[in-house]
Structure 1
């Protein structure tokens, strides 16, 4: 029969050594948790990538607004030079810039 000391020492040894399976389970769980947390923050669809996409979207929206303004200006100029609507001031400006024309009463200063 076992003595009280043997029983106590057996229970102490059992408490001191965790089962090998539990250690492996904890390591695997910790590793998977670390991987998924890393992927959620740094991955292709993570938080940092989402912030980059939002900033890029804002830049593209600003560029779109600039291009729309430029297109509207060009459409206005095109309409003003069309056969249906002729802006004489714009025609005079274009003739001076493109052809180098000037009126006889003007003096050229270079």
Structure 2
């Protein structure tokens, strides 16, 4: 009778330890694993940084595209062309004062 009681007690303790170990493992995996919460927070932070960078690059791209369009053959902005010619070639009219 004593042996059966000890065996049942040992089995119960072993089962409890197994359950606790399983819960600990899955908790660790849920937090630290490849698809865990900490990785989720890292990915969300990276997503925010990349979206902000995309906005900056998109604005820069749009400005450059607008400037290129204004210098193209289809649409010629004479003021911009004059500004660029003066800047690149260093030209000025005779009646102008150049301040640098």
TM-score by length of 1: 0.75
Partner of residue 17, structure 2? 27
Gaps of 5+ in 2: none
Is 1:38 matched up with 2:38? Answer: no
Q: 2:55 matched to 1:61?
A: no
Deviating more after overlay: 50-59 vs 71-80: 50-59
Partner of 1:78: 68
Aligned to 1:3: none
Unaligned runs of 5+ in 1: 1-9
Could you tell me how far apart the structure 1 residues matched to 2:51 and 2:99 are?
A: 43
- Shift in Å, 1:109: 3.1
Number of equivalences: 97
In structure 1, C-alpha distance between the alignment counterparts of 2:33 and 2:87, rounded to whole Å:
55
Superposition TM-score, scaled by structure 2 size: 0.81
Kindly report structure 1 stretches of 4+ aligned residues shifted beyond 3 Å: none
C-alpha deviation, 1:107, in angstroms: 2.1
Q: C-alpha root-mean-square deviation of aligned residues, in Å?
A: 2.1
For 1:7, the equivalent position in structure 2 comes to: none
Shift of 1:38: 0.8
